[in-house]
């Protein structure tokens, strides 16, 4: 990851908006190394992501960021700067299965995901050994039956204490309370083991087998209070046939889940996603 | 298409069933050029498709087929023989859009679909010119509003008169009456412009745009009284992004629709599908 | 296709280049509806494609285009404007097989390819009937053996006389002379029936069968004097297996060929491609 | 993995061959749970893979296997029985990069690969830590420059001593000597980081970048003395664009490599592959 700045912005669409933003960068001798934009002609909205080489800036990065405010406000924009290099403080929530967790660990080691895992949190302790092997803290939070509410409070306390920027639900088999979704809005990523909006809810591979679909999939999405209805970041599919039992579908689906989740996290931590109501604008790499 | 016989069979699973069937073929000096089978361990059912070179048969093809009855009945099987080469008598039902119709005509000319199109039937006359160019009869059947019931009766009469074996709904924008579905059960193929079971019903591309999915698709399926719920034969997907308007999705989706429908028809007319309740066993080629 | 202007540009990379270009557009009240750019960090080159709504321009489109020259020259850029809507004058060269030709005709009718086909030219007359049906001129040019050179001269004369902007080799089974490639450089698109650079040359499906590959493909590329070595615009693949004979591969490959060629032409006629030496920058839609 | 037997067979094609094989199984009350066969009409060869539930056999498994010899020999067949459940003794050879190694470990833990890893062998010691964490023996074999021959001898000794059935080259950056290939013929699986036969040899991602391909891939194949020319088991591709640097291609390619290698190994250890000269018959699951 090159040093520099990422600027992510959304605003109402304006004539000349690209010129204004790019001119601001150029006026301080910033060098645009990447510029992705999307003018939503239907919604009259504008979205952009800029990657800026700041090595030649004629002001400090702090001043550059502050100075953008005048323009940003005049555009009625929402924007966000990210200084590179950085690592996003990330908590991973798990239950029993570990393939998604292992994928995250593997990609992090490969340098594909610039994250710092603050801890693993599980409502089961199945993944404790993996945490230990990886040298990561593991918190086992009991939340069965009557302990559910208390459990979520405990998790939220942990996340706050760890100053977490991203929460990944790596096959965490619990529905988050609304208050949880709201507190960490736009910072929770889930992997659902179906090609949404098909097979919402429990046991999607069983549902897929019964329906006799010829492709199965997985969906990485932001979590909102609307179960399985949050903005989609990435989807993967795999071809299947009558030959495959529900167990086979689960096996083949794991591959989709791992791939979709890894891509989704990557896009998020590289600030390649912009949430637009219940959709996600994604500028993939 | 090589001369010979296709045998399609489904039955309860029995020990020795492959041996019995293959032995029958061998006992009359038939040569198995292709043998696909599926033992459904969950449902305890057996499905098979055999392609038999009959050039060395020691009986007539007719006797070979008749002689199989004893074995077939003892297995409690349902079976079907098809003599090759053949062309399946097929009617294509359309409304306004013609991309699926054109795909069928194109693939038929390329020799990929062994069908004989008996006629095109439209509840609009938009495709009449294509029929004319292709030298095919076109029947315009009025069925708006109060004419609906009468229209379907007229179509059913046409299909019977033409002794049709297959009815393809090539973006025919009408829901078939139950009696229609029952009369031609297992012989009606539809193309739905979404990745079922996602986006059932009208305007799937608009639904897909609103949901912000990252892949769109098309589904070729048998038509039953259960709208968009019939056995799936083939599905195709295409990657999309926020960039694509509903019109773009429709454009990209047309490609999926054409591909899925063409493959689905091919599998059906080559007897590569076996309907098993609400799923389809498909042995693709 | 919305009215407006497409600007396509390549230049050495400069700091502030996006700001300069976007500012020029904004300075005349042009509205950027689409802006794709690529800063090649390795080659220190800059590529961009802009789609501009010109309805609010404060100068004529002609003056807008002329006025860009000062900036363009100062950037050391090569650029090209295209006024929308337009249809690209296109000749299609064929031999015997017609699936790629039919795909082009079909997509043109569907409104997916804004081209005007000036004529079909064939070194065989197999496609004459299709031309007739489509109401297009067909030129049969004999070029076997000793007639080859004369044949190409005749074709080049036809293309010049028809003032052709694009030449599509739709399974035209002849190697173009260097002079031909040079005269129409950047305006000839070919479909090669393999996943280049695998299986260069003749009979790629036979080669693929012998090699036992598990995926076959097709490649749409610009034609240069380097056989099968020109800049790649689009590639498609299809999964295959040992089961498939060379004929099956050819059948499945046709689907790839049709899809890759149609996409490649679309990208070209929408000015979504920029040739960069022996690669093509493609901003797909 | 269900208890039982896998029978893998190849032979000249015979009329009645399916009947004979299936009848043998049935004659001893074996139950065919899966039967895949391929009659190569071009090569006049027959290939089959049977999965047999042996719980009801009227002879011992040993006698069943022995008894097949009479039939097998009469067919001029080559065949192989595998008793289930089993774990294949497997050595993994590595150099520096570990993503393929980690994929193998991960899939093994998930129960997707029935293998027992006897040891990791590296010509660098980069992967020693992974071996330690996984509780596996690691052998660092020096083989630079003049040590090459001695190194390979050492490796071959290790493989013999460990009684290895499968050798996986998990990005092992050494060309195997011919004698090595011959000794372990049909038991060495490699992952090549390109879509073979494109980009044979070194640095395929750099080659792919220079060529400007729109899809990159990975190929899992058996190793023969013919470099990158052995029978292909599985191939995967990923869409790329001009946007991607060689490093990006390597990153995206890792995903293909991991997927293709994992599938290839799975097919091999489940006896789903039959080598036919320089191609592999693969019955995937």
Single out the residue in C84, C103, C129 at which a domain terminates. C84
Q: What is the pLDDT of residues D112-128, one digit of tens each?
A: 999 999 999 999 999 99
Total of domains in chain A: 2
Q: Which of D206, D213, D273, D202 is nearest to D237 (CA)?
A: D213
How many whole angstroms separate alpha carbon D84 and alpha carbon D187?
A: 19
How many whole angstroms separate alpha carbon C228 and alpha carbon C207?
A: 15
Single out the residue in B84, B109, B138 at which a domain terminates. B84
Residue A197, preceding bond cis, omega within 30 degrees?
yes
Q: Are residues C219 and C233 in the same domain?
A: yes
The number of C-alpha atoms within 13 Å of A226 and in the hemisphere containing its C-beta is: 11
Q: Which two tokens mark A102?
A: 């292992």
Q: What is the pLDDT of residue A228?
A: 85
Q: Are residues C209 and C147 in the same domain?
A: yes
Q: Are residues A223 and A92 in the same domain?
A: yes
Residue A160 phi, psi (nearest 5): -65, -45
CB pairs < 8 Å spanning A and C: 60
Residue A79 parent element (H or E): strand A78-84
Which residues constitute the domain of residue C225? 88-282
Which parts of A91-202 fold into alpha helices (H)? 99-109, 128-134, 148-161, 178-183
Flag if A15 and C26 touch (Cβ within 8 Å): yes
CB A79 within 8 A of CB A9: yes
* Mean pLDDT score across all residues of chain A: 96
Q: What is the pLDDT of residue C15?
A: 87
Q: What is the pLDDT of residues C254-270, one digit of tens each?
A: 999 999 999 999 999 99
Give residues 14 to 53 of A whose Cβ lies within 8 Å of B: 38, 40-42, 47
For residue B248, the chain C residues in CB contact (below 8 A) are 285
How many whole angstroms separate alpha carbon C169 and alpha carbon C220?
A: 10
Flag if A106 and D110 touch (Cβ within 8 Å): no
β-bridge partners, A81? A7
Q: Are residues B36 and B163 in the same domain?
A: no
When mean pLDDT is compared across A17-21, A117-121, A194-198, B254-258, the lowest value belongs to A194-198
CB B53 within 8 A of CB B2: yes
Q: What is the pLDDT of residue A227?
A: 81
Q: What is the pLDDT of residue D1?
A: 57
CATH code: domain of residue A226: 3.40.50.170
Give residues 245 to 264 of C whose Cβ lies within 8 Å of B: 248, 251, 254-255, 259
| Active-site residue, from C98, C228, C271, C285 | C228
Mean pLDDT of B34-56: 95
SS3 assignment, position D158: helix
Asked if residue B41 has pLDDT above 60, the reply is yes
Q: Are residues A189 and A206 in the same domain?
A: yes
What is the ipTM metric for this complex? 0.95
Asked if residue A1 has pLDDT above 70, the reply is no
How many whole angstroms separate alpha carbon D186 and alpha carbon D276?
A: 10
Known catalytic residues of B are 228
Mean pLDDT of A184-212: 94
Report the 3 state secondary structure along B174-235.
CCCCHHHHHHCCCCEEEEECCCCCCCCCCCHHHHHHHHCCCEEEEEEEECCCCCCCCCEEEE
How many whole angstroms separate alpha carbon B230 and alpha carbon B273?
A: 13
Nearest CA in chain B to D42: B33
CATH code: domain of residue B49: 3.30.70.260
Q: Are residues B173 and B33 in the same domain?
A: no
Would you tell me how many other CB atoms lie within 10 Å of the CB of residue D256? 23
Q: What is the pLDDT of residue D227?
A: 81
Q: Are residues B34 and B145 in the same domain?
A: no
Q: Are residues D36 and D159 in the same domain?
A: no
Q: Are residues A163 and A277 in the same domain?
A: yes
Which parts of chain C fold into alpha helices (H)? 17-27, 61-74, 99-109, 128-134, 148-161, 178-183, 204-211, 246-269
A110 touches B at CB < 8 Å: no
Which of D112, D133, D254 faces A110 most closely, judged by CB atoms? D254
How many whole angstroms separate alpha carbon D40 and alpha carbon D265?
A: 24
Q: Are residues C50 and C25 in the same domain?
A: yes
CB D218 within 8 A of CB D263: no
Q: What is the pLDDT of residues A68-93, one digit of tens each?
A: 999 999 999 999 999 999 999 999 99
A282 touches B at CB < 8 Å: yes
> How much helix, strand and coil, in percent to the nearest 5, is found in chain D?
35, 30, 35
Would you tell me how many other CB atoms lie within 10 Å of the CB of residue B132? 12
Nearest CA in chain D to C39: D243
Asked if residue D202 has pLDDT above 90, the reply is no
Q: What is the pLDDT of residues C158-167, one digit of tens each?
A: 999 999 999 9
Q: What band does C1 get if pLDDT is binned at 50, 70 and 90?
A: low
Q: What is the pLDDT of residues C54-84, one digit of tens each?
A: 999 999 999 999 999 999 999 999 999 999 9
Single out the residue in A58, A84, A110 at which a domain terminates. A84
Asked if residue B22 has pLDDT above 60, the reply is yes
Residue B97, preceding bond cis, omega within 30 degrees?
no
Active site (annotated) includes residue C157 = no
> How much helix, strand and coil, in percent to the nearest 5, is found in chain B?
35, 30, 35
Q: What is the pLDDT of residues D137-169, one digit of tens each?
A: 999 999 999 999 999 999 999 999 999 999 999
Sheet containing strand D215-222, strands side by side: D138-140, D115-122, D88-94, D166-169, D188-192, D215-222, D232-239
Would you tell me how many other CB atoms lie within 10 Å of the CB of residue D24? 19
Q: Are residues C108 and C33 in the same domain?
A: no
* Mean pLDDT score across all residues of chain C: 96
For residue A242, the chain B residues in CB contact (below 8 A) are 38, 40, 47, 276, 279-282
Q: What is the pLDDT of residues C191-220, one digit of tens each?
A: 999 999 999 888 999 999 999 999 999 999
Q: What is the pLDDT of residues B138-184, one digit of tens each?
A: 999 999 999 999 999 999 999 999 999 999 999 999 999 999 999 99
Q: Which of C106, C134, C107 is nearest to C119 (CA)?
A: C134
pTM here is: 0.97
Q: What is the pLDDT of residues A112-147, one digit of tens each?
A: 999 999 999 999 999 999 999 999 999 999 999 999
The number of C-alpha atoms within 13 Å of D282 and in the hemisphere containing its C-beta is: 26
Q: Which two tokens mark C34?
A: 């689409």
Asked if residue B1 has pLDDT above 70, the reply is no
Mean pLDDT of D56-84: 97
Q: Are residues A39 and A21 in the same domain?
A: yes
Residue B11 phi, psi (nearest 5): -160, 170
Flag if C279 and D211 touch (Cβ within 8 Å): yes
- Where b means 16+ CB within 10 Å and e means fewer, A121-154 reads bbbbeebeebbeebeeebbebebeeeeeeebbeb
Q: What is the pLDDT of residues B98-124, one digit of tens each?
A: 999 999 999 999 999 999 999 999 999
Residue A59 CA to its chain's centroid (Å): 32
How many whole angstroms separate alpha carbon B167 and alpha carbon B170?
A: 9
Q: What is the pLDDT of residues C130-140, one digit of tens each?
A: 999 999 999 99
């Amino acid at each position: 990851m090159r040093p520099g700045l990422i600027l992510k912005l959304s605003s109402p669409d304006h004539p000349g908006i690209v010129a204004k933003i790019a001119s601001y960068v150029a006026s301080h001798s910033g060098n645009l190394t990447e510029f992705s934009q999307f003018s939503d002609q239907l919604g009259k909205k504008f979205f952009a992501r800029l990657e800026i080489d700041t090595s030649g800036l004629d002001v400090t990065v702090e001043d550059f960021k502050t100075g953008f405010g005048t323009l940003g406000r005049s555009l009625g924009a929402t924007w966000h700067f990210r200084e590179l290099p950085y690592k996003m403080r990330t908590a991973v929530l798990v239950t029993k299965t570990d393939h998604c967790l292992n994928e995250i660990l593997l990609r992090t080691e490969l340098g594909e995901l610039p994250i710092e895992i603050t801890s693993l949190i599980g409502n089961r302790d199945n993944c404790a050994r993996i945490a230990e092997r990886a040298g990561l803290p593991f918190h086992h939070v009991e939340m069965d039956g009557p302990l559910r509410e208390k459990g979520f409070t405990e998790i939220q306390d942990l996340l706050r204490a760890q100053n977490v920027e991203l929460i990944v639900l790596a096959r965490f088999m619990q529905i988050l309370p609304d208050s949880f979704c709201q507190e960490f809005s736009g910072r929770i990523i889930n992997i659902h083991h179906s090609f949404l909006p098909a097979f919402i809810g429990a046991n999607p591979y069983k549902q897929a087998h019964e329906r006799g679909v010829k492709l199965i999939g997985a969906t990485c999405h932001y979590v909102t209070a609307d179960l399985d209805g949050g903005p989609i970041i990435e989807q993967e599919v795999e071809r299947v046939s009558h030959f495959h039992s529900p167990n086979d579908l689960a096996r083949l689906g794991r591959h989709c889940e791992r791939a979709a989740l890894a891509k989704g996290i990557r896009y998020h931590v590289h600030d390649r996603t912009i949430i637009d109501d219940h959709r996600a604008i994604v500028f993939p790499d």
